[in-house]
Amino acid sequence: MPSLLTLPLELLVVVSTHLSTKDLGFLRLTCKQVEQSLYSWFAGEFFTKKQFMLTHKSLQTLIDISKHGRLSKQVTHVILATNMYQAVPHVPYTFRDADAATSWAQGVYDQQSLMSTGYDRDMLTEAFEKLENLQVVGIRDFNSNNRHRDGTSWSSWGAPTILRETGIELPFASSQVSNVATSFLAHIFQTLIYALARAGRSPREIEVLLRKEPLPDSAFHFPAFLTPSVTPVLQNLETLLISTDRIPTHNPGHSSINRPFLCQFLRQTYNIRHLRINFNKYQPGYTKVFLEWLGQPAVGAGAAPIRILDPPSIALTHLKKLELGQMAIWPSYMLKVIEKFASTLKDFCLWKTNIARPAAHSNVTVDFLNSLADMRQLCLTHFKLGFLQQDGLFIGFKNRGLEDAPYDKIREYTGDNMSHFIRGLINDIVIQQPGRSYVDDSDDSDDSDDGSNDEDNEDSDMPDEDGDSENDEFDEDSEDE
């Protein structure tokens, strides 16, 4: 008689994909043989990529996994989510009962002490030491939606328990809900990097995907006394995705040579191949100072003493892929940067950017595209652009042969006839007329306006290097149990 045990493994896996996580647990408990045949598939689905947060329970789970002989090897991607307790939860709130309120209050103080004693860093270090296949570490402030099982999104390990116990969802750090969100984010980033350093672990990729609140520039400050420890981590990075915007706090507002700490940081990531930076289009000063610096000629090591507030620019001789988003910028700054990296750059993405006109009447977007097409040495094989504006007016692209079709907001090309593609763009470009609403049926304009929700941060929107996309299929189980 056919039974679960006589089913071929592929069928068993298919059957089990229809189960909820709980029922899958029961199935795995039914017998040793089922458990063993499903094991590697199960470990692949649930342990390849995992999301934790800064609570003792969550980090203890990470340590437990890292100590597990087989599961530990499965983990390649660890995410720290920015779930953050607040002394007073964001209104409107009411605790269900006294137990819920107590549980929340305890969580607040526990998280504060976890961070202020450095215990979080110790725990991360302990886990990282054992996660020998770790390749990607990330920080994010959203739950991934691509979870098929259970019809829910993945959340940080431990978050569902807190919701159950307190009736309140542990929110992600943002200035809207907490006035210390910014220092919380800086803490997470610095703790993550320093824990990697102490564990002697050098993942090839760091992905900071923040939609609610970007990293403050101060997060990138690793002073000289930390340089020897963090340098091995930074110089091994191949991919760095970040989201930052804060006007540097060290800039008292009267000196034009003060650079963001990000500049200093990037001097140590000189092996990166892929750099993505999302700025904040409402903080154009930061973007401008940064891009101006990035576009300057590199100064070799040892050529001049390094001034921390005005470090010399960098070479990034391996840079292949550059993605810039959420800017309000004159194209000359972008062109300088692209020109500098032209000999290695193969892939450029420009996203949710307001291209500002230096002078009225200039057709700045067309000029910018022309300059790209004509740039000597530049040989892009992938170019993607989307949700652009010119002086605040939306840019669309006509669909040739489809007069009534809505304009494209995203265009993308992969291949070796880039100048042909760019000429096509120039042909199709439509700039919204002042005072007339954009011919458009979607709500993306809202998005561009609030500046905080950058969907481009989503892995699927800004495609990652080959192979990375498959991580999205695995994804993490971050439920309890």
Ligand X SMILES: *[C@@H]1O[C@H](CO)[C@@H](O)[C@H](O)[C@H]1NC(C)=O
Which residue from 385, 384, 371 is spatially nearest to 333, judged by alpha carbons?
371
The residue (of 155 and 353) whose beta carbon lies closer to ligand X is: 353
Instruction: Considering the complex, state which of residue 206 and residue 378 has its C-beta at the smaller distance from ligand X.
Output: 378
Which amino acid, one-letter code, is at 374?
A: D
In the complex with ligand X, which residue's Cβ is closer, 95 or 413? 413
Sign of CA dihedral 422, 440, 327, 212: negative
Indicate whether 146 belongs to the interface with ligand X (CB under 6 A): no
From CA 356, how far away is CA 38, in angstroms rounded?
56
Q: Does 420 bind ligand X (CB under 6 A)?
A: yes
Cβ atoms of residues 207 and 77 within 8 Å: no
Site size toward ligand X, by CB under 6 A:
7
With CB under 6 A as the contact rule, the residue among 226, 366, 375, 379 that binds ligand X is 366
Residue type, 102: T
Choose the binding region for ligand X from 26-34, 67-75, 144-152, 359-367 (rule: CB under 6 A).
359-367
CB of 395 to ligand X, least distance (A): 10
Which residues is 386 bridged to in the sheet?
Answer: 351, 410
Closer by beta carbon to ligand X, 299 or else 426: 426
Decide: 405 and 427 in contact? Cβ < 8 Å.
Answer: no
* Residues recorded for the chain: 481
Q: Which of 202, 363, 381, 452 binds ligand X (CB under 6 A)?
A: 363
**Binding region for ligand X (CB under 6 A) out of 138-146, 234-242, 360-368, 444-452:** 360-368
Q: Classify each residue of 131-149 as buried b or exposed e, where b means 16 or more C-beta atoms within 10 Å of its C-beta.
A: beebbbbbbbbbbbeebeb
Q: Which is it for the CA torsion 27, 29, 33, 36, positive or negative?
A: positive
Cβ closest to ligand X, residue 164 vs residue 400: 400
Q: Does 381 bind ligand X (CB under 6 A)?
A: no
Cα–Cα dist 293/285, whole Å = 12
How far is 78 from 192, CA to CA, in rounded Å?
A: 10
Give, as ranges, the residues between 422 and 451 that touch ligand X (CB under 6 A): 426, 429
Indicate the SS3 state at residue 53.
strand
Of 198, 180, 369, 344, which is closest to residue 273 (Cα–Cα)?
344
42, 13 Cβ separation under 8 angstroms: no
Among 417, 442, 460, 469, interactor with ligand X by CB under 6 A: 417
Q: For residues 7 and 366, which CB has a smaller minimum distance to ligand X in the complex? A: 366
Q: Which stretch binds ligand X (CB under 6 A): 83-91, 258-266, 312-320, 361-369?
A: 361-369
Q: Is 414 in the site for ligand X (CB under 6 A)?
A: no
In the bound state with ligand X, the residue whose beta carbon lies nearer, of 296 and 363, is 363
Q: How far is the CB of 349 from ligand X (least distance, A)?
A: 21
Could you say which residues in the range 231-260 bind ligand X, by CB under 6 A?
none
* Residue 379 interacting with ligand X (CB under 6 A): no
Judge whether 255 and 425 are in contact, CB under 8 Å.
no
Q: Which of 168, 388 has the CB closer to ligand X?
A: 388
Name the residues that contact ligand X, by CB under 6 A: 361, 363, 366, 417, 420, 426, 429
